[in-house]
A and B are shown apart, each in its own frame.
Chain A
Amino acid sequence: MHMETYPNLIPLVILAPALGATINLFLGHRLGERLSGLVGVIASLLAFIFSFLIVIYLNDPAVTTGTVIDPIALFEGWIRIGSDAGFHVDIPWQFRVDTITATMLMVVTGVGTLIHIYAIGYMHGDPRFGRFFAYLNMFLMFMLVLVTGNNFLVTFVGWEGVGLMSYLLIGFWWDKSAPVGWKNSNAARKAMIANRIGDFGIIMATILIFWTFGTLNYYQPGEVANPCYVLEHEHLISEEQAKKGECDLQAVEAYAAEHGTEAEGDLSEEGAYSAGHGGLTVEEMTNSKFLPGQLGVFGQLEVLMALEEGENIVWNMDAEGNPVVRDRMIEFGPYALDISAMLFLIIVFMVLGVSGKSAQIPLFVWLPDAMAGPTPVSALMHAATMVTAGVFLLVRSNVFLEYSAEGRLLVALIGAGTAFMAGFIALGQWDIKRVLAFSTVSQLGFMVAAVGVGAYVAALFHLATHAVFKALLFLGSGSVIHGVEHGHHHVHEHHGHHGHGEHEHEEKDAHGQTDVHGTDAITLHEEEFDPQDMRNMGGLRKRMPITFVTYLIGTFALSGLPIFAGFWSKDEILLDAWHHGLESVNVLDQLSGLIVFFTLLVAAGFTAFYMWRQIQMVFFGEPRSEAAAHAPESVPSMTIPLVALAFFSTFIGLINVPKGAPIFYPTFYKDYEFKHFLEASIPSVTQGETLIFNLGIAGLATLLAFGAIFFAHSIYGGRKAVVGEHGAEDGRDPLQMNPSTSQAFDVANRRLYWDDFYFSFVIRPYQRLADFFADVLDWRFLHDYFHDSVLKRGYDAIANLLANPLDIGLIDGVVNGVGRAVQFFSGRFRTVQTGYVRTYAVVLLLGVVAIVVLMLLPLIPTGS
């Protein structure tokens, strides 16, 4: 069905949400809520459909490689510096369509569409409804640019774009009255700033990559990412050869010689050695036609790392066709770095960027505050998609990590540390969304740690499953919050608050039911009621059954109970970490593997514990406030996505059933379908082992999860969830009552003092510095002192100099002097006019005499 043209749909995937955003931006308020929401959902749905087509294409067994798509000619030569003979900088706008991309596309557009549908119900009544959907679509567009880019710069465009949309969406309710509006916009700014610090890391990494490799492309057009996989798939080399990584033309020839197959025709023709599946020749499959310098970034790295110290290799052809040679060292003017040191530097910077975007230590502090945004935003960005951009980038750079053991160690430690720390903090939170936020940070730590131990497939798998069940949990929490708000409104309407009566209720209606989201302290009807505080909830399973059941499923998935999605993905990470720790060659890898394994095990225990705590507090027991007692179930446009996500949370784990898993394998599912899907794009999968399901590890993890749940139940179960009868006013956690745990609980509640630390050591000094610059330097010194003493006085002095000595003294002096001179001389000359006639007569006579003498002078004979 001409499926090979499906990848050309990629520009459409991005164009659909762009169009939806444009329509909603300009026509949003005229379209009204229904149409606006419909436009948004349809745009997202279109993107999903196109992504699905691409996945179908890539799932075809005949398709073993990804493709690079050059979009329309308008983007030809996006950044191109240099002459036609040879570009110094050539960064084209290209899309990369391979299995990693396809995975991310499905996650982003699939979960995105469901959340768009949910948002129609959630944002009902908001005056800026159209704008919200425009922002959601714009976010989707940027995220899709991020995952489909073929080079680091296109990815960075998407990276920055989602950072911007994060700012706009978190601060969406910036126009609420103080202090709520300020809280929202502060959270937005915090997100932007933390992201920006990460962006610095990414930019540095990009620059270093460009300097090292001369290009930013992941893969050049026609380059194959994983030749071993393709060759083995076409039976051109043996499995052992593939495992060892010998996947070039010599290996093919050796294999052919071994098996006595003759080459039918030239190697460069289709059909040599095999029936030419996918239209690739052997040369194309082994990237033989490329000179090392013409490969993409990852190909170049493999070649460079294979060089010995000081060994030279023909790298590229320059403009005249002369070969260019290089060795392992990267030159920086007078300095040179070896490629492995350079690689580590690149990874360090990249990790900074990842920790900004994917909320790891040390830049995770923006994510809990980002819960100030509307719940669909929290679900979409801060659970499923935007925060996974960092993990995606690391998976994309799997070749970088494969060649740097120190880099891997760094990544693994950061991931494991974050997972543990965030899990601990989540134990002490009161806000329903904050618990989920820290849970997200913790799970992202899982993913990053997985990447750190080389389990790229596990990381992506967990990314996908986590997106589904975390979005479910967030949407469920949104439903709960909505319900509690409705209940609160309901209660106060009935009680008819004195004097305020109709007026205030109408005002609240105009603002919509979405009036009070995202804050800890809101003033509503004179008392402070936080609909997000779990101490105000309780017993909601009877009032909101659908929400309860779906939330429960989400909790099971997150805790990693068997057959739910989280079990498979978490388990695979643990298995990979264990294997890595035991079987690795490098001691750093062994260390990281074991540390990661034990830390993640504990973090998983935390996860189950705080999730069950949350379930007990919110859904079981008796309602602790009037609002909770009257909370209604949410509208279908909100509950249907919940049900859909719950369904996926249950079953999506089965795409990557490990080999040897009881019951499921091999009866129902082949092993590691997802892994095989990704193998085409991740070379290390081919060189790695296929791990058998380890009952010990899986059993241990499951036991731990159940144990944590039982433990939580013993503390929070029944009616003991919160100590105190009046909700948030006097509610205290049972752990706070117990003297041996109350300190730990308080520390967790205060988020391990990270925010306080940053505030006192970073923000306050910065503010003081800024105040110093503004007040002292700028105003008092520059404007007052400098302006008055130097500028004003200087100017006055110069003006004075010009006015008095120069103008009056010199110029007037000259002009007046002329007059005085005339006067002086005329005074003298005037005396000639005596007035006496006789004087004149004498002069006359003398004159006559003079003339006569002069006339007669020539006549005097002088003697010839």
Chain B
Amino acid sequence: MEFAVPTEAFIVLSTILFVLGALGVLLRKNAILVFMSVELMLNASNLALVAFARQWGGLDGHLFVFFVMTVAAAEVAVGLALIVAIFRSKNSINIDDLHQMEG
């Protein structure tokens, strides 16, 4: 099928989003922001999946997106719970403060 917007554009967008998210994970100090970056990466991969699903016309991509979303949600829940627990002991959510297990 001919589409108005070519699939490559979606992939490029997905890549840009993914890289931004990766950088965010690496460069951000705030734990919540790191999580936000992780979500961004996941969404980027969602986008790539949907784009390819649209191109090839199958339902596999769409289905996988649902799984990813569910997992992302669960993961956020757990991660936020972890942050709350850490905040309770350290009174900070600066990930640079968590280096007790160092050599």
Contact = CB atoms under 8 A, between A and B. Distances in A.
Interface of A: 829-838, 841-842, 845
Interface string B1-42: 000000000000000000000100111000000000000000
B103 interface: yes
A838 B94 CA distance: 11
Given A836-B96, A838-B96, A845 B102 contact: no
B26 A833 contact: no
23 contacts: A830-B103, A831-B103, A833-B101, A833-B102, A833-B103, A834-B102, A835-B101, A835-B102, A836-B95, A836-B96, A836-B98, A836-B99, A836-B102, A837-B95, A837-B98, A838-B26, A838-B27, A838-B95, A838-B96, A841-B25, A841-B26, A842-B26, A845-B26
B85 to A, nearest CB: 15
A848 to B, nearest CB: 10
Given A835-B101, A838-B95, 14 more contacts: A831-B103, A833-B101, A833-B102, A833-B103, A834-B99, A835-B98, A835-B100, A836-B95, A836-B102, A837-B95, A837-B98, A841-B25, A842-B26, A845-B26
B51 to A, nearest CB: 19
Contacts of B27: 838
A845 B27 CA distance: 13
Interface string B63-101: 000000000000000000000000000000001101111
The 9 A-B residue pairs whose C-beta atoms are closest, nearest first, are A835-B102, A835-B99, A830-B103, A833-B103, A837-B95, A835-B101, A836-B99, A834-B102, A831-B103
Contacts of A841: 25-26
A845 B22 contact: yes
A678 to B, nearest CB: 120
Contacts of A837: 95, 98
Of the listed residues A829, A834, A838, A845, the one surrounded by the most CB atoms of chain B closer than 10 A to its CB is A838
A838 B97 CA distance: 11
A493 B70 CA distance: 143
Contacts of B22: 845
A651 B26 CA distance: 148
A617 to B, nearest CB: 122
Nearest to A826: B103
A511 to B, nearest CB: 103
A837 B25 CA distance: 10
A836 B103 CA distance: 11
Contacts of B100: 835
Of the listed residues B22, B99, B103, the one surrounded by the most CB atoms of chain A closer than 10 A to its CB is B103
A139 B100 CA distance: 109
A834 B25 CA distance: 17
Contacts of A832: 103
A841 B22 CA distance: 9
Nearest to A827: B103
Contacts of B25: 841
Nearest to B22: A845
A671 to B, nearest CB: 133
Contacts of B99: 834-836
Contacts of B102: 833-836
B24 to A, nearest CB: 11
Contacts of B96: 836, 838
A845 B103 CA distance: 21
Of the listed residues A829, A836, A845, the one surrounded by the most CB atoms of chain B closer than 10 A to its CB is A836
Contacts of A842: 26
Contacts of B101: 833, 835
Of the listed residues B95, B99, B101, the one surrounded by the most CB atoms of chain A closer than 10 A to its CB is B99
Contacts of A829: 103
A829 B103 CA distance: 8
Nearest to B96: A836
B97 to A, nearest CB: 10
B102 to A, nearest CB: 3
Of the listed residues A829, A832, A841, the one surrounded by the most CB atoms of chain B closer than 10 A to its CB is A841
A834 B101 CA distance: 7
Nearest to B27: A838
Contacts of A831: 103
A837 B22 CA distance: 14
A832 B96 CA distance: 16
A333 B103 CA distance: 92
A85 to B, nearest CB: 93
A833 B102 CA distance: 5
A835 B102 CA distance: 4
A853 to B, nearest CB: 16
A390 B99 CA distance: 116
A500 B9 CA distance: 150
Nearest to B23: A845
A842 B26 CA distance: 7
Contacts of A834: 99, 102-103
B36 to A, nearest CB: 15
B53 to A, nearest CB: 22
A222 B99 CA distance: 122
A8 to B, nearest CB: 111
Nearest to B101: A835
A845 B25 CA distance: 10
Contacts of A845: 22, 26
